[in-house]
Amino acid sequence: SVARGEARRDSDVDLVIVGRNLPKSKFKRLELFEDAESSIEDLVNELWVRGYHFDFSPIILSVEEARRHRPLYLDLVLDAVIVFDRDSFFAGILDGLAARLRELGAERRLVGKRWYWVLKKSYRFGEVIEL
């Protein structure tokens, strides 16, 4: 919602972080993120005082893990704001997924305040759709 410009004052900020030589433990990865987050604590506190009560929601992936498509990537194809991307690694993943979605004729639809994806308009029950 933040990247789409639809954030509320209490929206979280989803961050996809892809790194090399990460610990296998998700908890250890989160500890690394928390160490980095502490360096911008003053800025976060300032925003809090101004009424923006948000948290970061980090998704920390190894290069190998990032190569496997995740449901989150569907929305990132349209909404991602890429801050840093060495050698356009992640942009390449999203571009490949975007091409596949176009090939399928996929559409993202808004129902109420929620987005969902129709991956293939001519879908038949039981059909497997590979992204």
**In this predicted model, what pLDDT tens digit does every residue of 99-120 receive, in sequence order?**
999 999 999 999 998 889 999 9
pLDDT at 7 over 70: no
pLDDT for the residue 78 = 93
Residue 2 pLDDT greater than 80, yes or no: no
Distance, CA of 62 to CA of 60 (rounded, Å):
7
Please give the distance of CA 100 from its chain centroid, rounded to a whole number. Answer: 18
90 and 116, same domain (yes or no): yes
6: confidence class by pLDDT, cuts 50, 70, 90: low
The percent of the chain in helix, strand and coil, each rounded to the nearest 5, is 40, 20, 40
Q: Give the total number of structural domains in the chain.
A: 2
What's the pLDDT score for residue 101?
Answer: 96
pTM of the model: 0.82
Residue finishing a domain among 42, 66, 90: 66
